[in-house]
Each structure stands twice: as structure tokens, then as C-alpha cells.
Amino acid sequence: MDLKNEWLDGVKTAREKAYTPYSNFKVGAFLIAKDGTTFDGCNVENAAYGDCICAERTALVSAIAQGYKPGDFEALVVTTDTPTPSSPCGSCRQVIKELCNDEMPVYLTNIKGDVIKRTVDDLLPLGFSGRDLEDVK
């Protein structure tokens, strides 16, 4: 699956919605469901830094809140204003692993147009998720 121009436009728009008064590090995420529905996310900071939420988790939580289920997603695009594309933090990688299929593409981009394509499994190899608990009795 290739990165689509409309996904890049969507992730740039999502990034502009970020609330980052402390770090000024805006991140956008654009989640594409298998049925074509899209969800954008942005990071939202808080003066109590531990209460911040990342763009990737915002998009995924929005989709789940709208009734989507783990595995319903086709791709995730993340963008930052950095010299090279940035990868999701550890917390985001865990949530992505829980809610997305291991082979789903994750496109890491920056506003200059650089792109790195990885899979969920590339981002968190040997990760633990609810799928690991399916056979536990």
C-alpha cells in the first residue's frame, strides 16, 4: 500500500490543530480505517506534563470512541516539523500494537515531505497485546 496525497494533506491539517504552548512541538496523526473513514489526531499538552496525550493515541482513541474495533484500520500517518521523520513514543507504540494489525503500515513523515514506511511490528517487535491473552484460561 502506498502513501496517498490526501493522507499527507490530512496529517498536515491534523498537526496544525495541536495544542503545544510549552514545547511548541506539534505532531499530527491521520488514521485510515479499512472502510475509508479517517480520524485525525494531534498532541495536546498540559501544564502537568504527565497528562499530555500524543497525536497517535488521540486518533486511535477517537476511532474507538466512534465504534471502530481493533484491526479495523488500514494505515496510520504521523508528521512532525523535524529534520527527519520522528517515530511514535513508547506509549503510542503500545496502543498502536493493541489496536492495529502487526502488518499495518505506519508512515512517518515530516513537513518537508520525507517519508519512512514501517509496519506496526517494525515499531514494536515482539510486542505484547490483547492477542497474546486470547488463549489464556
Task: Just list the catalytic residues.
Answer: 56
C-alpha to C-alpha distances, 70 to 83, 95, 110, 131, nearest whole angstrom = 32, 10, 27, 10
Residue 110 assigned as binding residue? no
Residue 33 assigned as binding residue? no
Residue 44 assigned as binding residue? yes
Residue 89 assigned as binding residue? yes
Residue 48 assigned as binding residue? yes
Is residue 28 within 8 A of residue 18, CB to CB? The reply is yes
Residue positions in the annotated binding site? 43-49, 54, 89, 92
Residue positions in the annotated binding site for Zn(2+)? 54, 89, 92
Residue positions in the annotated binding site for substrate? 43-49
